[in-house]
C-alpha cells in the first residue's frame, strides 16, 4: 500500500482532475460497448429461448439460447436481445438437448410389416421430444450391406420428420461383409447389430461370426450391437410350451414361460466373454433382466468395452401383463420379465450400469397382433414407444426414483450421442451444436390415452399411466417441429446423420 501511495503516476492521477475524468469516461465507454455487443450481438437469430433452465448431462443453469441456421449460436447467462427472432419463453421450464432414440424400427418388414411408417412414427417422436432416431439397415442373405443401407435410406428420405442415422444389421457373414463393415465404419455407419437368435429367419450369428466381428471392432472402433438371447435354450423352452395343452392353459403367458431369465443371461455372459477375449467393443441392446444388467456391469468394471441399454417397457411393466385378456399385445423380443427384473433394472439405470435408454419401437396394430391366433410363437413382436420415451422416463426416474435431470439427459441424449459417434453435434447444448432442443415443463401432467397421442397405433402399452412432465416445444435443427403435442414439422425434414467410430461414455 505504501508503495502505491508513494508511487508517482498514481499520485499524479488522483491530483489531476481532467485526466481522472478522461480515464473514467473511457472505462465507462468500454464497459458499455462490451456489454452492448454481449447483449445485442451482431448475429441474427431465428429463435431465442429466454430464461429456461438449461440442463446438460453435467450441469444446470439459467440462460438464453440464440438459434440461427439450424445451430446453437449463443448461450448467454446475461441475456440475448431477440430482435426480430421468434421468442420462446422458458421461465420455469427446462431446456434439454433433444432425446436420441438409438434403437427403433420404422416400417420394418419382420413378423409382418409394422403398422407405422417413418412419417407417422417420427412425427410422434417429435411430439414426445425425440429429435434423432437410429434405425437399422438389416441385410438379407446374399444382399450387400451397401444395398440394404441404400434401400433403407431411400425408404426414409421423403418421410422422416426428424434426423436419423442407421446401424448396419449383419445377417450374412462373409469376406464381402467384413470389408463392408470396415468401409461403413469410416463412412458414417460405425455400428452393426448382430443377432444371437432368429435362426429360422436366417438372421442368427454364431460364436465364430461374433468373434470375428468383435475382433475387427478392436481395430476400427466400430461397435457391435448384440441381441443377446440364446437360440438353443429358446428353442428348447418354446418346444416345451408349444403344445395345445400349455397354450390353452397359459395363453399369451406362454411367451413369458418360454423365455426364462437364463435365455438372456447365458447369451449376455457369452457376449461379455467374447468381447473381453477379442478386446472388441459391444453394446447389449434391450436388456430385459436384472441379472443380465449385472453381468454387463461386472464385465465393464473389469475393463471390457461393453455397454448396455434398456427400454421403458422393461422398467414400467412386468410379466403380469401377459395374463391380461389382451396380453398378447405386449409381446416383444426379448419379453417383459418379472417384477424383480423391473426393480433390478431400475437400480442398474440409477447406478450407471445401464447407460442408454432407448425404446425398440416396433409398432403393430391390434389387428396385426391378433394374427397370433393363440400360438405364442406367432405374435408379431414389438410395441410403440418413441413418443413416450421422455415423459415416461421423466416420471419414473426423476419424479418417482430421485434421479437428477442431468442423469435423464445423459441416458436419453448425451450418452447415446457419445457412444454412437454424434457428439457434440447431437446430445449437447453448446455453441455450434445442432439446435435440437426440447422445452420441457416438469409440472405439466397428462394421462396416456391413445386419443391424445400422435402415434397412429390403436393401442398403447402405458395407457392410463399418469405422466408428470411433458415436452412443450420440440426444435429440430432450428425448426419448431412440435408444440404441446401438436406436430408442426414436415415430412422429409429429417437428414441423415453421419457418425464417427470410437465413441465412448
Ligand atoms: O420386439 C421387437 N422389438 N422386435 C424387433 C426386432 C428386435 O430384435 O429388436
Ligand atoms: Zn433385438
Ligand atoms: Zn429392436
pLDDT tens for 178-201 read 999 999 999 999 999 999 999 999
Burial of 476 (0-12, 13-18, 19+ CB in 10 A): buried
In short, whether 362's Cβ falls inside 6 Å of ligand 1 is yes
**11 lies in the same domain as 154:** no
Encode pLDDT of 136-181 as tens digits. 999 999 999 999 999 999 999 999 999 999 999 999 999 999 999 9
Strands 437-447 and 94-97: antiparallel
Do 138 and 201 belong to one domain?
Answer: yes
Give the residue, out of 382, 384, 386, 461, with the most ligand 1 atoms within 8 A of its beta carbon, to mutate for a pocket test.
382
Same domain, 162 and 22: no
Same domain, 181 and 289: yes
pTM over 0.75: yes
Number of domains in the chain: 2
In a domain, 68, yes or no: no
Q: Is the pLDDT of residue 265 over 60?
A: yes
For 406-417, how does the pLDDT look when each residue is reduced to its tens digit (9 = 90+)?
999 999 999 999
Task: Decide whether any atom of ligand 1 lies within 6 Å of the 105 Cβ.
Answer: yes
Same domain, 372 and 238: yes
Residue 48 burial by Cβ neighbours in a 10 Å radius (0-12, 13-18, 19+): buried
**SS3 readout for 276-287:** HHHCCEEEECCC
Q: Is 288 in the same domain as 432?
A: yes
Contact 51, 91 (CB under 8 A): yes
Cell digits for 147?
444395398
C-alpha of residue 335 to centroid of ligand 1, in Å: 10
State whether 3 and 114 are in the same domain: no
- Rounded to an integer, the average pLDDT of 269-289 is 98
- Residue nearest atom 2 in ligand 1 by C-alpha distance: 382
Percent of the chain with pLDDT over 90: 90
207 assigned to some structural domain: yes
Tens digits of per-residue pLDDT, 49-75? 999 999 999 999 999 999 999 999 999
Ligand 2 midpoint to CA 26 (Å)? 67
Residue 122 has pLDDT above 70, yes or no: yes
Task: Compute, in angstroms, the gap from residue 331 CA to the centroid of ligand 1.
Answer: 10
Nearest CA to ligand 1 atom 3: 382
136 C-alpha to ligand 3 centroid (Å): 8
Say yes or no: 454 and 327 in one domain: yes
Residue 19 pLDDT grade (very low, low, confident, very high; cuts 50, 70, 90):
low
Residue 52 inside a domain? The answer is no
To test the pocket of ligand 1, the residue of 196, 263, 333, 369 to mutate (highest count of ligand atoms within 8 Å of its CB) is: 333
CATH code, domain carrying 358 = 3.20.20.140
Burial 336-351 (b: 16+ CB within 10 A, else e): bbbeebbebbbebbee
Helices (H), 7-117: 8-15, 17-40
Mark whether 5 and 139 lie in a shared domain: no
Structural domain range at position 25: 1-42
Q: Which residue has the cell 438371447?
A: 229
- Position 295 pLDDT exceeds 50: yes
Distance 264 CA to ligand 1 centre (A): 14
Same domain membership, residue 326 and residue 257: yes
**What is the per-residue pLDDT for 60?**
98
- Residue 333 CB–ligand 1 contact under 6 Å: yes
Give the Cα separation of 353 and 143 in Å (integer): 36
pLDDT, residue 405, reads 98
- 17 pLDDT higher than 70: no
Which atom of ligand 1 lies nearest, measured to the CA of 198? 8
Instruction: Answer yes or no: is the C-beta of 308 below 6 A from any ligand 1 atom.
Output: no
> Do both 174 and 30 map to the same domain?
no
One domain, residues 13 and 152: no
Q: What are the pLDDT digits (tens) for 209-233?
A: 999 999 999 999 999 999 999 999 9
Determine, yes or no, domain membership for 51.
no
108 CA: nearest ligand 1 atom? 5
Answer yes or no: is 385 within a domain: yes
Nearest to 415 by CA among 150, 30, 14, 103: 103
In the DSSP assignment, the letter for residue 475 is E
* Arithmetic mean of pLDDT over the chain: 93
Q: Tell me whether residue 206 is in a domain.
A: yes
- Helix 290-301 to helix 339-350 angle, to the nearest 10 degrees? 30
> Which protein residue's CA is at the shortest distance from atom 8 of ligand 1?
333
Helix (H), strand (E) at residue 89: strand 86-89
Query: Is 4 inside a domain boundary?
Result: yes
Q: Are 415 and 334 in contact (CB under 8 A)?
A: no
**Which atom in ligand 1 lies closest to the alpha carbon of residue 333?**
1
For ligand 1, whether the C-beta of 461 sits within 6 Å is: no
Asked whether residue 383 is assigned to any structural domain, the reply reads yes
Ligand 1 atom with the smallest distance to the CA of 103 is 9
Amino acid at each position: 500500500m505504501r508503495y502505491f501511495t508513494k508511487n508517482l503516476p498514481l499520485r499524479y492521477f488522483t491530483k489531476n482532475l481532467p485526466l481522472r475524468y478522461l480515464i473514467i469516461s473511457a472505462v465507462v465507454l468500454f464497459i458499455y460497448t462490451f456489454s452492448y455487443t454481449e447483449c445485442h450481438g451482431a448475429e441474427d437469430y431465428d429463435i431465442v429461448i429466454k430464461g429456461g433452465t438449461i440442463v446438460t448431462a453435467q450441469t444446470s443453469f439459467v440462460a438464453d439460447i440464440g438459434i440461427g441456421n439450424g445451430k446453437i449460436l449463443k448461450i448467454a447467462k446475461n441475456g440475448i436481445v431477440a430482435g426480430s427472432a421468434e421468442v420462446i419463453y422458458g421461465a420455469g421450464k427446462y431446456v434439454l438437448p433433444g432425446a436420441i432414440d438409438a434403437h427403433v424400427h420404422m416400417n420394418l418388414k419382420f413378423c409382418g410389416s409394422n403398422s407405422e411408417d417413418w412419417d407417422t412414427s417420427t412425427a410422434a417422436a417429435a411430439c414426445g421430444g425425440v429429435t434423432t432416431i437410429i434405425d437399422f439397415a438389416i441385410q438379407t442373405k446374399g444382399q450387400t450391406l451397401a444395398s440394404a443401407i441404400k434401400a433403407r435410406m431411400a425408404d426414409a428420405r421423403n418421410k422422416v420428420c426428424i434426423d436419423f442415422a442407421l446401424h448396419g444389421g449383419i445377417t450374412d457373414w462373409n469376406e464381402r461383409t467384413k470389408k463392408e463393415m470396415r468401409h461403413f465404419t469410416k463412412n458414417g455407419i460405425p455400428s452393426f447389430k448382430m443377432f444371437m437368435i432368429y435362426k429360422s429367419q436366417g438372421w442368427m450369428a454364431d460364436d465364430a461370426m461374433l468373434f470375428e466381428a468383435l475382433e475387427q471392432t478392436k481395430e476400427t472402433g466400430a461397435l457391435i450391437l448384440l441381441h443377446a438371447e440364446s437360440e438353443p435354450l429358446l428353442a428348447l423352452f418354446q418346444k416345451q410350451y408349444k403344445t395345445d395343452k400349455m397354450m390353452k392353459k397359459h395363453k399369451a403367458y406362454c411367451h413369458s414361460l418360454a423365455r426364462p431369465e437364463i435365455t438372456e443371461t447365458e447369451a449376455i455372459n457369452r457376449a461379455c466373454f467374447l468381447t473381453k477375449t477379442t478386446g472388441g467393443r459391444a453394446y447389449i441392446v434391450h436388456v430385459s433382466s436384472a441379472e443380465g444388467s449385472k453381468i454387463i456391469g461386472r464385465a465393464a468394471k473389469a475393463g471390457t468395452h461393453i455397454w448396455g441399454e434398456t427400454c421403458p417397457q422393461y422398467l414400467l411393466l412386468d410379466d403380469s401383463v401377459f395374463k391380461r385378456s389382451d396380453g398378447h399385445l405386449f409381446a416383444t423380443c426379448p419379453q417383459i420379465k418379472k417384477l424383480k427384473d423391473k426393480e433390478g433394472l431400475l437400480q442398474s439405470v440409477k447406478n450407471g450400469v445401464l447407460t442408454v435408454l432407448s425404446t425398440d419401437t416396433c409398432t403393430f396394430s391390434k389387428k396385426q397382433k391378433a394374427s397370433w391366433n393363440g400360438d405364442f410363437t406367432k405374435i408379431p413382436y414389438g410395441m410403440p414407444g418413441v413418443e413416450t420415451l421422455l415423459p415416461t422416463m421423466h416420471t419414473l426416474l426423476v419424479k418417482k426414483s430421485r434421479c437428477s435431470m442431468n442423469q435423464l439427459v445423459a441416458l436419453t441424449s448425451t450418452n447415446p450421442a457419445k457412444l454412437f459417434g454424434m457428439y457434440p453435434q447431437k446430445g449437447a447444448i453448446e455453441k455450434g451444436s445442432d439446435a435440437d432442443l426440447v422445452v420441457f415443463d416438469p409440472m405439466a401432467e397428462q394421462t396416456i390415452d391413445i386419443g391424445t397421442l400422435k402415434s397412429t397405433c390403436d393401442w398403447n402399452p402405458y395407457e392410463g399411466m399418469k405422466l408428470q412432465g411433458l415436452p412443450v416445444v420440440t426444435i429440430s435443427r432450428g425448426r419448431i417441429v412440435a408444440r404441446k403435442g401438436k406436430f408442426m414439422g414436415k415430412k422429409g425434414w429429417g437428414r441423415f446423420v453421419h457418425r464417427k467410430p470410437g465413441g465412448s461414455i
